[in-house]
Amino acid sequence: MASEEKVTQDAKPSSENGRPKPTPIEVTHPERVDPKAIRLLREPPWKLRMTIEGDRSYLKVKVVRAAPLSQPSRYVCFLDGKDEAVCMVDDLSDLEAGSRRIALEELDRRYLTSRVERIESIRSDFGVSYWDVQTDRGRREFVVQDVSENAQWLGERRLLLIDVDGNRFEIPDLDALDRRSAKFLETVI
């Protein structure tokens, strides 16, 4: 009996169900680096590389936003080839002009959002809506599954739709839509 008590005392803390409690997740924050020391380049032209002057270089990096909808030009993170955070920049305007231009091009490609100018039609069947719209990039047809889950209000009159392929479609101002488009939208929102 004494040996049983010893085993229990040495065991990892357990929850009420007798199972070991999970260990806390270690949270790491991206390193802060002087933004002026960051150099982005494309070499070869389809591959993004980064050098932190006087420190280190990365052969493959990605540029991602920490708050893509609310603060698109702030809190930008650079990830290495293993998708691990290398560093974070508070504001893109702090980067050197050439690196800022490359970072913005990468972000525009990653977070491509079409602006809906007019709705030609919306058809709904069993929670799936089929959209035919005119955007700033031309006419598009897309499918949104469960609009209540895949529509995000970005303001009182600003709406973001995410289609089944992850594409983003923004209606910047519902009041700016023509009457016919607004009627179509009312059928699903």
**Are 66 and 136 in a shared domain?**
no
53 assigned to some structural domain: yes
The span from the CA of 150 to the CA of 184, in Å, is 17
Q: pLDDT, tens digit, for every residue of 121-163?
A: 999 999 999 999 999 999 999 999 999 999 999 889 999 999 9
Last residue of a domain, one of 63, 82, 110: 110
State how many domains the chain has: 2
Is there a domain that residue 4 lies in?
no
- Owner of token pair 């702030």: 74
CA distance 127 to 189: 12
37, 97: one domain: yes
Q: Is residue 62 part of a domain?
A: yes
Q: Which domain holds residue 54?
A: 31-110
Clarify whether residues 98 and 118 are in a common domain.
Answer: no
Residues 106 and 122 in one domain: no
Say yes or no: 77 and 51 in one domain: yes
CA dist 9 and 6 (Å) reads 5
In a domain, 16, yes or no: no
What residue type is 84 in one-letter code? E
Same domain, 128 and 175: yes
Pairing state between β 85-91 and 113-125: unpaired
d(CA 126, CA 146): 9
The rounded distance, in Å, linking the Cα atoms of 5 and 59 is 55
- Last residue of one domain, picked from the residues 75, 90, 110: 110
Q: Is the residue at 81 inside a domain?
A: yes
pTM: 0.58
Whether 9 has a pLDDT exceeding 80, the answer reads no
Asked whether residue 7 is domain-assigned, the answer is no
Same domain, 40 and 86: yes
Rounded CA separation 163/143 (Å): 5
Is residue 80 domain-shared with residue 121, that is, in the same domain? Answer: no
The CATH number of the domain holding residue 173 is 2.60.40
Sequence-ordered alpha helix ranges (H) in 31-176: 97-110, 147-150
Percent of the chain beyond pLDDT 90? 65
State how far the Cα of 111 lies from the Cα of 114, in Å rounded to an integer: 10
Report yes or no: 133 and 120 within 8 Å, Cβ to Cβ: yes
Q: Band of the pLDDT at 8, cuts 50, 70, 90?
A: very low
Question: Both 99 and 143 in a single domain?
Answer: no
Give me the pLDDT at residue 113, please. 87
Among 79, 110, 141, identify where a domain stops. 110
pLDDT digits (tens, 9 = 90+) for 64-110: 988 877 788 889 999 999 989 999 999 999 999 999 999 999 998 88
Q: For residues 74 and 130, state if they share a domain.
A: no
pLDDT the model gives residue 29: 59
- 182, 128: one domain: yes
CA–CA distances in Å: residue 76 to residues 7, 18, 95, 114, 130: 49, 43, 11, 21, 34
